[in-house]
Amino acid sequence: MVMEKAWSFGLVLLWFSTLSCYLVNAADDKNGGFGASFIFGDSLVDAGNNNYLPTLSRANIPPNGIDFKASGGNPTGRYTNGRTIGDIVGEELGVPNYAVPYLAPNSTGKAILYGVNYASGGGGIMNATGRIFVNRLGLDIQIDFFNNTRKQFDKLLGSSKAKDYISKRSIFSVTIGANDFLNNYLLPVLSIGARISETPDGFIDDMINHLSNQLTRLYKLDARKFVIGNVGPIGCIPYQKTINQLNENECVDLANKLAMQYNGRLKELLTELNGKLKGAIFVHANVYDLVMELITNYAKYGIIWFFTCRFYNSKRSMLWKWRAICRDNPMRTDIKYVQRP
Ligand SMILES: *[C@@H]1O[C@H](CO)[C@@H](O)[C@H](O)[C@H]1NC(C)=O
Ligand SMILES: *[C@@H]1O[C@H](CO)[C@@H](O)[C@H](O)[C@H]1NC(C)=O
Ligand SMILES: *[C@@H]1O[C@H](CO)[C@@H](O)[C@H](O)[C@H]1NC(C)=O
């Protein structure tokens, strides 16, 4: 279950730099400012939904949250030391509260006017993705939940105002797809059958068709401004490197190739939807290149190191924050520390 945790530490910073221009423009709407941020996706943007599910994929344990000011450094269910890209985008847009997790008890009443977060660690485009965690919200279900929220907006604002608010003043971000490879297609044992019976082309076709239907469903529910993230270099994450027994500076070729193949198809899909769905804007967020750049030129972005508890022993004085964690878990390898410049 380590992969869900390992993946997301600190990946958000770069993502943001490309998105911010577009999003700030979108926010600068003549119709009375920014409305809501609706967040769909996996552990990269889960803000606590999995805390409310009986699941093996949870992040409500330290060191998650250690740099998250709003919780005083306590874990919240975010799979990261700090904020997710969803939180940061919301802040930059001037939304006073982070989008509430859909499953949290306070995701009711006026709180939803700032946005709602449906993301779930372990979730994917395909329903079967993340089965290994027992429970998680796949994108189909996340959109079912948005359908519920959509009805609540009609009640809160009246149907014509609600439609305006959703279509003109709200952002829909979707950050998903990595688990469809990591915790579905590439999963040892569980998916061997699928991999024998389905070629990478066939599997990626299924993913793209499914996603196309999912985005069209959101459009039917009045979503218009979309930001869709592609899949990062999943062959370079510790989980993949470990199960494939690679060295520190190598990445798993098959996993990265699948990600790149999917990403090519995603770009085509978004171009197609931009033409087909009237009034909608789909922005493609190139997570793959950003994260690859981060991995390659990490020092340029103020990242001091990625480290494990074993490594910690030699850098003790610099990493006082991790002392208790590493003392209790001397062999932990899923911690990466990102320092802003
Ligand atoms: C919802 O509850 C959480 C946890 O108690 C809190 O941190 C957050 O600020 C609340 N959000 C809203 C919009 O009330
Ligand atoms: C996936 O699950 C959702 C929600 O349970 C369901 O509506 C949908 O039909 C399922 N899709 C497939 C392809 O099984
Ligand atoms: C939303 O839910 C209603 C039932 O309440 C259903 O008729 C409709 O098809 C759903 N819309 C989408 C896009 O899923």
Q: DSSP of 291-326, one letter per residue?
A: HHHHHHTGGGGT--B---HHHHTTSGGGGGGGHHHH
Query: Does residue 337 belong to any structural domain of this protein?
Result: no
Which domain covers residue 208, as residue numbers? 3-305
Ligand 3 contacts CB of residue 220 (under 6 A): yes
8 A C-beta contact, residue 122 and residue 179: yes
Ligand 2 contacts CB of residue 127 (under 6 A): yes
Closest residue by Cα to atom 8, ligand 1, is 100
Distance 143 CA to ligand 1 centre (A): 22
* Residue 62: predicted pLDDT: 80
Band (pLDDT 50/70/90 cuts) for residue 228 is very high
- pLDDT > 70: percent of the chain: 76
Distance 236 CA to ligand 2 centre (A): 31
Closest residue by Cα to atom 10, ligand 3, is 147
Distance 174 CA to ligand 2 centre (A): 18
Distance 229 CA to ligand 2 centre (A): 22
Considering only the C-alpha atoms of the chain, give the largest distance between any 2 of them, rounded to a whole number of Å. Answer: 61
* Residue 302: predicted pLDDT: 63
Distance 81 CA to ligand 2 centre (A): 33
Closest residue by Cα to atom 3, ligand 2, is 140
* Token pair listed for 273: 């939807």
Residues 64-100 pLDDT 10s: 888 899 999 899 999 888 899 888 888 888 888 899 9
Ligand 2 contacts CB of residue 141 (under 6 A): yes
44 CB burial (10 A radius; 0-12, 13-18, 19+): buried
Q: What is the rounded CA–CA span in Å between residue 171 and residue 20? A: 12
Which atom number of ligand 2 is nearest to the Cα of residue 141? 4
Query: Does residue 270 belong to any structural domain of this protein?
Result: yes
End-to-end distance of the chain based on CA atoms, in angstroms? 31
* Token pair listed for 13: 């910073």
* Residue 202: predicted pLDDT: 92
Mean pLDDT of the chain: 81
Q: What is the rounded CA–CA span in Å between residue 109 and residue 124? A: 28
Band (pLDDT 50/70/90 cuts) for residue 194 is low
Query: Does residue 233 belong to any structural domain of this protein?
Result: yes
Residue 8 predicted with pLDDT over 80: no
Distance 166 CA to ligand 1 centre (A): 22
* Residue 327: predicted pLDDT: 65
CATH number at residue 182: 3.40.50
Ligand 3 contacts CB of residue 221 (under 6 A): yes
Residues 143-192 pLDDT 10s: 999 999 999 999 999 999 999 999 999 999 999 999 999 988 888 665 55
Q: What is the rounded CA–CA span in Å between residue 26 and residue 87? A: 17
Distance 138 CA to ligand 1 centre (A): 24
Ligand 3 contacts CB of residue 216 (under 6 A): no
Residue 313 predicted with pLDDT over 80: no
Query: Does residue 280 belong to any structural domain of this protein?
Result: yes
- Ligand nearest to the Cα of 140, by number: 2
Measured in degrees and rounded to the nearest 5, phi and psi for residue 42 equal -115, -150
Query: Does residue 39 belong to any structural domain of this protein?
Result: yes
Query: Does residue 61 belong to any structural domain of this protein?
Result: yes
Residue 259 predicted with pLDDT over 90: yes
How many domains would you assign to the chain?
Answer: 1
Query: Does residue 52 belong to any structural domain of this protein?
Result: yes
Ligand 1 contacts CB of residue 74 (under 6 A): no
Residues 13-49 pLDDT 10s: 334 444 444 444 444 444 457 789 999 999 999 999 9
Q: What pTM was computed for the model?
A: 0.84
Closest residue by Cα to atom 3, ligand 3, is 147
Query: Does residue 332 belong to any structural domain of this protein?
Result: no
